[in-house]
């Protein structure tokens, strides 16, 4: 596991729980090559030029406020020094991380940024998270306070969404595809097989889980959202802000524009393809309204039998909260229902009890190492729930210290044993009753029988909430992520030569080495790397800047021939030339 010394902390990052810190990795800024820097610079120059016309006004302002430079890949430490004034922070993470963890970072006002950068051949778009997408896409918009609050609140609600077992399979498959697509030299057959697996999983997901639905909302807003009117929308989604191709494509009539609504939650997306339709929100405040409408449909707010069934189906650690405020966390295994209501639940494995997100003393995973089960609801024939009974009521029904009782619940759940004590919440309600020599049955089935140990019975008439994760983060060991060891292949002599040429031109432009012969570099590029287009574009810019007309014409001719040989590069080359020509006159 990683130590906390691998990144520079600050007051916002200090508040992160331990299990989120396991995903953080050092940025290793020195690992960015001159080619990487050139890719960043090209995308940013093109994006800022175009997006200044079509992006929400917060974007250009946000670039300045968040300290994101056009010429240099952002350094996380520098970003954090500026972001802290906005109440946010940024960390480098290990590529794709689980959706719940991603959203939980947002709940703590922390942007997660994949520190890798796309390869030159994927300069327009990559399905893998990279620093162009995260840094240049997400960061600038959080300078808008209304949007920043939406992002935080989305994280707070989203991390409580319950997943399905199939969600995790799909997450693993997408993560694998993103890694192999960006890895140099991956066999095309391996990529095709990974894409086929994702397609197969996506077509067999069954009923979408809460996490799947809220990820749709995230995709159509945070990643691919438009804002304003249907006739003249502006871009604010990070996926569009960071993609040269899609930011242009989305503004055409070929992409259908739909008014944003909760229906977006039921609109699936394909991460590998340009989006055929996009949703337009009238303003950022409306995003929060739809989010709250969606949250009202989640087990987080509805609870009940359906809520606990979602936790059982997820096969993941989750929590139910009872009407007394008692929270039970564990892997929910089964539920017994009566007339559409849960009357008994059971967890398996380590479980813990809490109240208001704080573990109850003596009710930790060491007390409940193999599970926890309890009846729910009212006692049969009694109109008042146990939690609503006054001390006099409790005594009248023999629910009192030292009494041996037989409690018959609605639905034929019976608890027999000697009462040892009761635990109350801050409002004075009984939330837990502890028994000695206890047997719990449902009709003729024994659900629990004391073998000398005490039995804790949860008190609550209803399940008011069910959500992903534990009530108290400290109750469970959530450290299960190992940072992927991405072994960067050593450059061969050809790659080293190309990298050296890019570095020389970068040093020349930045004034750290003006003795370099640009003509000589151009000669080496055309003879040794005749298919490379980005460095000639940079040389064209420098030649224009110095007023070297013959040299600009020579480079221009070379780039025109490149376009003829590889038409797919045509628009990239044209865009690069166009940016230069806007700034200089021959």
CATH number for 442: 2.30.30.100
Same domain, 70 and 159: yes
Same domain, 353 and 255: no
Q: Is residue 485 part of a domain?
A: no
| DSSP result, 164-181 | -HHHHHHHHHHHHHHHHH
Positions in the chain whose pLDDT score sits under 50: 1-5, 586
Q: Is residue 483 part of a domain?
A: no
Give the CATH number for residue 264: 1.10.800.10
| DSSP result, 438-463 | EEEEETTEEEEE-SSS-EEEE--SSE
Pairwise CA distance, residues 128 & 552, whole Å: 36
- Supply 347's token pair: 């967890």
Pairwise CA distance, residues 479 & 4, whole Å: 13
Same domain, 342 and 378: yes
Domain boundary among 268, 292, 316: 292
Domain boundary among 475, 510, 545: 475
CB 48 within 8 A of CB 63: yes
Q: What is the pLDDT of residue 488?
A: 58
Rounded to 5°, angle at Cα 194 from 192 and 196: 70
Same domain, 210 and 319: no
Is the Cα dihedral 62, 66, 67, 69 positive or negative? negative
Q: What is the pLDDT of residue 127?
A: 66
Q: What is the pLDDT of residue 297?
A: 98
Same domain, 282 and 322: no
Q: Is residue 569 part of a domain?
A: yes
Same domain, 72 and 17: yes
Count CB atoms within 10 A of the CB of residue 318: 27
Closest CA to 299 of 176, 213, 193: 213
Q: Is residue 327 part of a domain?
A: yes
Q: What is the pLDDT of residue 584?
A: 62
Pairwise CA distance, residues 514 & 521, whole Å: 13
**By residue range, what is the domain housing residue 117?**
4-292
Same domain, 516 and 553: yes
Chain position carrying tokens 């189906």: 313
Count CB atoms within 10 A of the CB of residue 507: 15
Q: What is the pLDDT of residue 203?
A: 83
Q: Is residue 341 part of a domain?
A: yes
CB 247 within 8 A of CB 275: no
Alpha helices (H) along 343-492? 391-396
Q: What is the pLDDT of residue 489?
A: 64
Structural domains counted in the chain? 3
Q: What is the pTM of this model?
A: 0.89
Chain position carrying tokens 């494509």: 249
Q: Is residue 279 part of a domain?
A: yes
**489 phi and psi, to 5 degrees?**
-65, 135
Same domain, 309 and 395: yes
Same domain, 56 and 101: yes
Pairwise CA distance, residues 373 & 441, whole Å: 11
| DSSP result, 532-545 | --HHHHHHHHHHHH
Same domain, 34 and 140: yes
Same domain, 63 and 170: yes
What distances in angstroms separate CA 343 from CA 41, 304, 413, 443, one per listed residue? 61, 10, 8, 12
Pairwise CA distance, residues 317 & 371, whole Å: 12
Pairwise CA distance, residues 347 & 332, whole Å: 4
Pairwise CA distance, residues 414 & 409, whole Å: 6
Domain boundary among 234, 268, 292: 292
Contacts of 471 (CB under 8 A, 6+ apart): 319, 321, 327, 328, 329, 352, 354, 357, 359
Q: What is the pLDDT of residue 3?
A: 39
Q: What is the pLDDT of residue 16?
A: 95
Q: Please tell me the number of Cα atoms within 13 Å of 576 on its side-chain side.
A: 28
Q: Is residue 534 part of a domain?
A: yes
Residues in the chain: 586
Q: What is the pLDDT of residue 457?
A: 98
Same domain, 67 and 177: yes
Q: Is residue 480 part of a domain?
A: no
């Amino acid at each position: 596991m990683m130590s906390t010394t691998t990144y520079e902390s600050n007051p916002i990052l200090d508040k992160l729980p331990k299990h989120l810190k396991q995903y953080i990795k050092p940025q290793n800024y020195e690992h960015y090559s001159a080619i990487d820097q050139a890719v960043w610079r090209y995308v940013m120059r093109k994006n800022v030029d175009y997006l200044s016309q079509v992006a929400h006004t917060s974007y250009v302002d946000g670039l300045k406020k968040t300290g994101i430079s056009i010429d240099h890949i952002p350094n996380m430490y520098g970003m954090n020094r500026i972001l802290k004034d906005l109440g946010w922070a940024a960390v480098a993470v290990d590529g794709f991380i689980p959706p719940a963890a991603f959203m939980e970072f947002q709940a703590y006002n922390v942007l997660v940024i994949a520190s890798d950068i796309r390869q030159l051949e994927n300069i327009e778009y990559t399905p893998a998270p990279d620093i162009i997408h995260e840094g240049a896409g997400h960061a600038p918009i959080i300078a808008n306070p209304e949007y920043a609050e939406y992002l935080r609140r989305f994280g707070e609600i989203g991390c409580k969404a319950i997943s399905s077992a199939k969600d995790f399979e799909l997450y693993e498959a997408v993560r694998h595809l993103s890694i192999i697509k960006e890895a140099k030299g991956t066999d095309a057959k391996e990529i095709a097989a990974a894409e086929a697996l994702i397609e197969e999983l996506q077509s067999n997901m069954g009923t979408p889980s809460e996490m799947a639905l809220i990820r749709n909302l995230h995709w159509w807003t945070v990643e691919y959202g438009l804002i304003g009117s249907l006739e003249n929308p502006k871009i604010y989604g990070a996926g569009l802000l960071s993609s040269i191709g899609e930011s242009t494509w989305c503004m055409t009539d070929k992409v259908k524009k739909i008014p944003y609504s909760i229906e977006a939650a039921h609109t699936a997306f394909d991460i590998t393809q340009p989006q055929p339709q996009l949703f337009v929100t009238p303003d950022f405040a409306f995003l929060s309204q739809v989010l709250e409408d969606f949250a009202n449909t989640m087990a987080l707010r509805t609870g009940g039998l359906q809520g606990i069934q979602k936790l059982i189906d997820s096969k993941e650690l989750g929590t139910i909260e009872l009407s007394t405020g008692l929270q039970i966390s564990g892997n929910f295994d089964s539920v017994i229902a009566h007339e559409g209501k849960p009357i008994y639940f059971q967890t398996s494995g380590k479980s813990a009890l809490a109240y208001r997100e704080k573990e109850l003393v003596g009710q930790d995973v060491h007390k409940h190492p193999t599970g926890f089960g309890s009846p729910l609801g009212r006692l049969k024939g009694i109109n008042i729930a146990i939690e609503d009974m006054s001390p006099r009521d409790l005594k009248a029904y023999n629910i009192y210290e030292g009494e041996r009782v037989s409690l018959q619940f609605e639905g034929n759940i019976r608890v027999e044993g000697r009462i040892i004590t009761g635990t109350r919440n801050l409002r004075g309600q009984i939330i837990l009753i502890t028994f000695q020599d206890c047997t719990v049955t449902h009709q003729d089935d024994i659900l629990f029988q004391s073998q000398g140990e005490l039995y804790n019975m949860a008190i609550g008439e209803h399940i008011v909430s069910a959500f992903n994760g534990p009530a108290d983060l400290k109750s469970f060991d959530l450290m299960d992520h190992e940072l992927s060891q991405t072994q960067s292949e050593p450059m061969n002599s050809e790659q080293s030569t190309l990298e050296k040429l890019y570095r020389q031109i970068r040093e020349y432009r930045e004034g750290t080495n003006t003795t370099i012969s640009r003509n000589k570099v151009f000669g080496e590029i055309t003879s040794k790397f005749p298919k490379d287009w980005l460095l000639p574009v940079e040389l064209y810019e420098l030649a224009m800047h110095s007023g070297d007309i013959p040299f600009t014409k020579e480079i221009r001719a070379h780039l025109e021939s490149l376009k003829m040989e590889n038409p797919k590069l045509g628009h990239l080359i044209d865009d690069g030339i166009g940016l230069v020509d806007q700034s200089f006159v021959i």
